[in-house]
Amino acid sequence: MNAEIIAVGSELLTPDRVDTNSLFLTEELNKLGVEVTTKYVVGDDRERLAYTVRTAAERSDFTIVSGGLGPTEDDVTREAVAMAIDRRMTLNQGILDGIEQRFRTMGWKMPEINRRQALIIDGAEVLPNDRGTAPGQWIDVRHCSVLLLPGPPHELKSMFVKQCLPRVERRVPKMAIETLILRVAGMSESDLDQTISPVYKQYSNPVTTVLAHAGDIQVHLRARCATTAEAMTLLAEVGGKIDALLGDRIYSRNGDPLEVVVGQLLKKPHATLVVAESITGGMLAERITTVPGCSEYFLGGFITYSRKLKNTLLGVPLELIEQHGAVSRETAEAMAIGARNRSGATHALAITGNAGPTTDGDTAPVGMVYVSLADLKGVITVHRQFSSDRERIRQFSSQMALDLLRKRLIAV
């Protein structure tokens, strides 16, 4: 079975507010095997909302509308849904009495506009609201159930769990939805898709989605089966075939980000890490320190943005920088060696590059990055030429550094 979610409110169409209710609803529905196929955000417009509800109800098993049940003129959900399904509304005296009593308990007189909250669409089941004044409504329309829920998250969550979930569960055949997340580094999105598409195109279940962000590509496999065991078996089958194609380019099979994976690898041999950053300006250290317990292996870092600090803090000879440039293999390697010598860490990562927007002479175009790793085995360096904006180049660089360390650690 499937569901569509409609979040109502013009404020959700501004950059200042985010619809979090749909995330909660999706999670709860997925637990019951209901797939959320579409989400909308609609402003406070009766006609637009009525059209959206009508469209969703024609093709989904559940249409869930959140928000717009308040007492003011811009709370248009009741009227819009009534228009969409061609039903009238009736004032429910019992609900009105309850709202008036709620106001009296707070020592206030109920404003006349709150009468609108007692308007119930014909044929609807009233869903009590134990956290606010606006009741919800459940309306069965042919093959679809339309749910009207309040917008405030604490009201919606309580109402959905107590009033809606039992009703949904009675209507839904038992089904399990399970997800496998593979995270990949060191490949472009197009290269990855070209590699794995011959596998996932053979299956309509699980559904495969490829997501890319600044050097971090995620492959989401989503299986729907009668039982959790069947879903997990299917994910293992398809995931295993993809795993065989990608090999060590997969750095996580449980959704963990790269900084978590690297931290776990450092802990096993009781290794330590120090970083020396130029282009990333502390971004690499920030990622590492988001991981709880990182103090077990992370000693700290050097942010050496200028040539002077590369020399005074890391011991990089100024003549080396003058000869080869601040963005060069030689400088990156000297930074890594210097950071390791100054800190005594097992591993030292160094990053230097040009994030733009201006070039640094002919030898350092925008997007050129060098990452060096110094450890007991010596020094290794990788070089990339990225084509993107300043922030993404810096994100790519930190991902590139962590992946270099990961591969070094798993090769031990």
Q: What is the pLDDT of residue 360?
A: 60
Question: Given pLDDT bands bounded at 50, 70 and 90, which one contains residue 361?
Answer: low
Question: Given pLDDT bands bounded at 50, 70 and 90, which one contains residue 147?
Answer: very high
Per-residue pLDDT, averaged over 381-398, amounts to: 93
Is the pLDDT assigned to residue 388 strictly greater than 90?
A: no
Question: Given pLDDT bands bounded at 50, 70 and 90, which one contains residue 161?
Answer: very high
Is the pLDDT assigned to residue 2 strictly greater than 80?
A: yes
**Model confidence over 89-127: pLDDT tens digits?**
999 999 999 889 889 988 999 998 899 999 999 999 999
The whole-angstrom distance between residue 292's C-alpha and the CA centroid of its chain comes to 20
Q: Which residues have C-beta within 8 Å of that of residue 27, sequence separation ≥ 6? A: none
Say if CB 383 and CB 308 are below 8 A apart: no
Q: Shortest CA distance to 160 belongs to which of 9, 25, 5, 31?
A: 25
Q: What is the pLDDT of residue 127?
A: 96
Q: Which domains does the chain have, with CATH numbers?
A: 2-171 (3.40.980.10), 176-252 (3.30.70.2860), 258-410 (3.90.950.20)
Query: What residue type is assigned to position 194 of the chain?
Result: Q
Q: What is the pLDDT of residue 46?
A: 95
Mean pLDDT score across all residues of the chain: 94
**Model confidence over 205-233: pLDDT tens digits?**
999 999 888 788 999 999 989 889 999 99
Q: Shortest CA distance to 349 belongs to which of 412, 297, 291?
A: 297
Q: Which residue has the tokens 């501004």?
A: 14
Secondary structure of residue 13 in the 3-state scheme: helix
Is the pLDDT assigned to residue 362 strictly greater than 90?
A: no
Q: Which residue has the tokens 């637009």?
A: 48
* Edge-to-edge order in the sheet of strand 207-213: 207-213, 216-225, 176-184, 250-252
